[in-house]
């Protein structure tokens, strides 16, 4: 079985699909757009991620690098909700939680590629001292 990095390196392109808050199924509807680009040598991928809403335009922008390193798989991410990048280490397949001091707020990102050309990008976050809650899930499929 291939790992997450291999699956994404093998299936680059523009991924699009719905973005939703599982805790608010009747909430605003958004669209996720993620461009996946392989890194040199197949070490990983870069991902340019946007969430678009009909009412508010671009509501989230993020640039990430998912890569194998000598210390394991990491996700380096910079997004519009913080003025610092986070370096997140994989703790279990596809799970990238922020450790103490790794992010200005508690957060975790889960990446799943259940089949070629299908990516699920989930954000969990909360206020300091509160538990993480899955709040944003982009379920996207490659379109180009």
Does 91 have pLDDT greater than 50? yes
Q: Measured between alpha carbons, how far is 88 from 83 in angstroms, rounded to an integer?
A: 16
Q: Measured between alpha carbons, how far is 106 from 128 in angstroms, rounded to an integer?
A: 6
CATH of the domain at 84: 2.40.128.20
pTM value surpassing 0.85: yes
On whether the CB atoms of residues 62 and 80 are closer than 8 A, the answer is yes
Does 114 have pLDDT greater than 50? yes
For the chain, how many structural domains are there in total? 1
What mean pLDDT do residues 78-99 have? 94
Domain that holds residue 107: 4-142
Task: Mention every residue, 6+ apart, whose C-beta is less than 8 A from residue 99.
Answer: 89
**% pLDDT > 90, the chain:** 75
Query: Residues 52, 59, 6, CA angle at the centre, nearest 5°?
Result: 70
Chain segment 24-44, per-residue pLDDT in tens: 888 778 999 999 999 999 999
């Amino acid at each position: 079985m291939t790992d997450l990095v291999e699956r994404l390196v093998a299936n680059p392109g523009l991924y699009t699909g719905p973005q939703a808050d599982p805790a608010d199924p009747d909430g605003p509807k958004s669209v996720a757009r993620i461009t996946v680009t392989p890194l040199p040598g197949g070490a990983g991928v870069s991902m340019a991620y946007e969430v678009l809403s009909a009412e508010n335009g671009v509501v989230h922008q993020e640039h990430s690098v998912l890569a194998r390193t000598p210390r394991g798989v990491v996700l380096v991410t910079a997004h519009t909700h913080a003025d610092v990048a986070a370096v997140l280490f994989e703790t279990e397949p596809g799970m990238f939680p922020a450790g103490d001091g790794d992010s200005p707020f508690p957060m975790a990102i889960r990446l799943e590629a259940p089949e070629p050309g299908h990516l699920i990008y989930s954000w969990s976050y909360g206020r300091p001292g509160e538990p993480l809650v899955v709040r944003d899930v982009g379920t996207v499929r490659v379109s180009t």
